[in-house]
Amino acid sequence: MDYRAWKGSRKNELEDFAISFLVLVLLFSNFDPRQLPYALVAVLTAFLSHELAHRQVARRYGYKAYYKRWDTGIMIALLFGLLTRVLTGSTWIFAALGAVYIYTPYQYWEDKEAYGKISLAGPATNIAVGFLSLLILKSLYLSPFAWRVLWTTVVVNLWLAFFNLLPFPPLDGYNVTRWNTGVWAASIGLAYLLYRLP
């Protein structure tokens, strides 16, 4: 990608974040208006922190980075979600709606360690948010509304971490395994273990 194309795409980042965010809120609310408040908080902590973590780590490596939605992934997610909602009563979620794109104009090789750490940053952030939310959920007396918000936050963050750590392109787990399979195994194992706790 040349710099002009990158700069043009960068301008649309806020719009791309907003569209992806709204689609994920619909999916995680199971298309049920009563679930929207819980899904809003959960997706805010899960999706935005995930993508911003990727972007921040990429920029710390000196790369230019921005989030770009994937319209095909959005359509697949909505159609798959609606279809499973109608057929089964619950929404199955396909969460590949976009990605952080990295622009490296002066680097002509792929730094597997850098790409691995950038890829790990998103799921690691989800694991941290999910774990902290789980600690609060288990240790404090909460109102039913606050309990449901935190429970949804735990589930969405840990599910998103696990899903993204699957070792297939274009998911984050692919780059993490190419960098360090031990780190990948520990990360996906922790995400799955914590996901099963609530």
∠ at Cα 76 (70, 78), nearest 5°?
A: 100
Give residue 107's pLDDT band: very low, low, confident or very high (50, 70, 90): low
φ and ψ of 15, to 5 deg: -65, -45
- Among candidate residues 13, 51, 110, 113, the one labeled active-site is 51
Q: What does the pLDDT look like over 44-72, one tens digit per residue?
A: 999 999 999 999 999 999 898 999 999 99
What is the per-residue pLDDT across 109-167, written as a single tens digit (0 to 9) for each? 678 999 999 999 999 999 999 999 999 999 999 999 999 999 999 999 999 999 999 99
Please indicate, yes or no, whether the overall pTM of this predicted structure exceeds 0.85. yes
110 counts as catalytic: no
C-beta separation of 184 from 167 below 8 A: yes
Give the phi and the psi of residue 106 in degrees, each rounded to 5.
Answer: -115, 10
Domain ranges of the chain: 3-196
